[in-house]
Structure 1
Amino acid sequence: MPLKHLRIIAGPKAKAHIRANGLKAADIAAIPGAAGGPKGLILQGLDHFLFNHWLTNDTLAERVKNGLPALQLIGASIGAWRMAAAASSNPSNALNELANQYCEAQRYPKGVDRDSITETCMRMVENLTAPHLSSMGKPTHKNLVVWVNKGLQPLHKPHPHPTRPPLARKRGFAAAVVANSIGRNTLAHYFERHVLATQPDELGWLTKPFDRIPLQMHALNEGNLQASLLASGSIPFVLNPVQTIPAAQPDQPALEGPFWDGGLTDYHLALPYHRVNGLVLYPHFSNTVTPGWLDKFLKTRKANPDWMSNVVLLCPSAEFVNSLPGRKIPDRSDFKRYGENHDLRIQHWREAIQRSNALAEEFENWLKHPHFDV
Structure 2
Amino acid sequence: MTDDLVIFAGRTAYRHIRKNGLSPNDIDLVLGASGAAKWLVIYGLDAALFSRWFAHRKDPLPVLGTSIGAWKFAAAAQNDPVRALSALKHAYIHQYYQGRVTPAQVSRESGRIMASFLDPARVNEILDHPFLRIAFGAVRCRYLLASGHRIPQILGVAAGAMLNRMSRNLNRLYLERVVFHHDGFDTGGVDFSGFPTRCVPLAPGNFQSALTASGAIPYVMEGVTDIAGAPSGMYRDGGILDYHPAFALTPGHKGFVLYPHFYPHLIAGWFDKKHPGRRVTGAVTDRMILVAPSDRFISQLPFGRIPDRKDFIRLKGQDAKRVDAWETVADLSRNLGETFLDITRTGRIQDLVRPLS
Name the TM tier (shorter chain).
over 0.9
Asked whether the 8 Å contact 2:248–2:287 carries over to 1, the reply is: no
Q: Stretches of 4+ moved more than 3 A in 1?
A: 273-277
Q: Is 1:232 equivalent to 2:214 in the alignment?
A: yes
1:237 maps to a residue whose letter is: Y
SS of the residue corresponding to residue 176 of structure 2 reads: strand
* Aligned residues with identical type, % of pairs: 32
2: CA distance, partners of 1:365 / 1:124: 32
2:38–2:306 CA contact under 8 A, matched in 1? yes
1:333-352 correspondence to structure 2 within 5 Å: 333-352=310-329
| SS state at 2:265 partner | coil
Is the partner of 2:313 in helix, strand or coil?
helix
What 5-or-longer segments of structure 1 have no aligned partner? 64-69, 248-253
Deviation, structure 1 residue 365: 1.6
Q: 1:269 deviation in Å? A: 0.3
- In the alignment, does 2:209 pair up with 1:241? no
8 Å contact kept, 1:138–1:198:
no
Indicate conservation of the 8 Å contact 2:136/2:214, yes or no: yes
Residue of structure 1 in register with 2:275 after alignment: 298
| Partner residue of 1:257 out of 208, 211, 233 | 233
Instruction: State the 1:263 CA deviation.
Output: 0.2
Listed one character per residue, the Cα deviations across residues 6-36 of structure 1 (whole Å, up to 9, x for unaligned) are 0000111111112222211111111111000
Distance in 2 separating the partners of 1:116 and 1:203: 35
Match of 2:24 in 1: 25
Structure 2: gaps spanning 5 or more residues: none
Match of 1:251 in 2: none
User: Tell me, what secondary structure is at the counterpart of 1:263?
Assistant: helix
1:98 equivalent among 88, 95, 116? 88
Superposition deviation, residue 112 in structure 1: 1.5
Could you tell me how far apart the structure 2 residues matched to 1:209 and 1:142 are?
A: 20
Task: Give the corresponding residue for 1:143.
Answer: 133
232-241 or 268-277, larger mean C-alpha shift: 268-277
Q: Which residue of 2 aligns with 1:210?
A: 193
Corresponding position of 2:246: 270
Aligned length: 349
Match of 1:84 among 60, 70, 74: 74
Distance 1:315 1:292 in 2: 19
**How far apart are the structure 2 equivalents of 1:261 and 1:9?**
27
Deviating more after overlay: 193-202 vs 109-118: 193-202
**Distance in 2 between the 1:351 and 1:154 partners?**
40
Match of 2:145 in 1: 155
Residue 284 (structure 1) aligns with? 261
Residue of structure 1 equivalent to 2:288: 311
Which structure has more RCO (C-alpha within 8 Å, separation ≥ 6)? 2
Matched residue SS, 1:303: coil
1:164-195 CA distance string (max 9 Å, x none)? 2453x433322211111111111000100110
Residue 314 of structure 2 is aligned to residue 325 of structure 1: no
Secondary structure of the structure 2 residue equivalent to 1:80: helix
Stretch moving more, 354-363 or 267-276: 267-276
Question: Quick one: distance in 1 between partners of 2:35 and 2:192?
Answer: 25
Letter in 1 for 2:225: Q
Alpha-carbon distance in 2 for matches of 1:122, 1:348:
24
In the TM superposition, what whole-angstrom CA distance separates every residue of 1:316-371 from its partner, at most 9, and x where no partner exists? 10010010000011101110111022111111101000001111121122111222
Task: Confirm whether residue 188 of structure 1 aligns to residue 169 of structure 2.
Answer: no
Does structure 1 residue 34 correspond to structure 2 residue 36? no
Partner of 1:128: 117
Task: Please say if residues 133 and 185 of structure 2, whose CA atoms lie closer than 8 Å, have aligned partners that are also in contact.
Answer: no
Letter in 2 for 1:371: Q
Q: CA deviation at 1:123?
A: 2.1
Match of 1:114 among 83, 103, 113: 103
Please tell me the residue identity of whatever aligns with 1:45.
G
Aligned partners of 1:200 and 1:217 also within 8 Å: no
Distance change (3 Å), C-alpha of 1:140 and 1:314: same
Q: Which amino acid is the alignment partner of residue 264 of structure 1?
A: I
SS of 1:204's partner is: helix
SS in 1 for 2:47: helix
CA displacement at 1:280 relative to structure 2: 1.1
Aligned counterparts of 1:359 and 1:156: Cα–Cα separation in 2? 40
Q: Which amino acid counterpart does residue 113 of structure 1 have in structure 2?
A: T
Using the TM superposition, give the Cα deviation of residue 218 of structure 1 relative to its aligned residue in structure 2, in angstroms.
0.7
Q: CA deviation at 1:209?
A: 5.2
CA contact (8 A) 1:110 1:340 kept: no
State the TM-score, normalized to the length of structure 1.
0.89
Pair 1:219 & 2:201 matched: yes
What's the counterpart of residue 66 of structure 1? none
SS at match of 2:143: coil
Counterparts of 1:204 and 1:363, CA distance in 2: 30
More displaced stretch, 135-144 vs 306-315: 135-144
Counterpart code for 1:290: I
Name 1:371's counterpart in structure 2: 350
For residues 183 and 221 of structure 2, what CA distance do their matches in structure 1 show? 29
Q: Measure the CA separation in 2 of the matches of 1:277 and 1:144.
A: 20
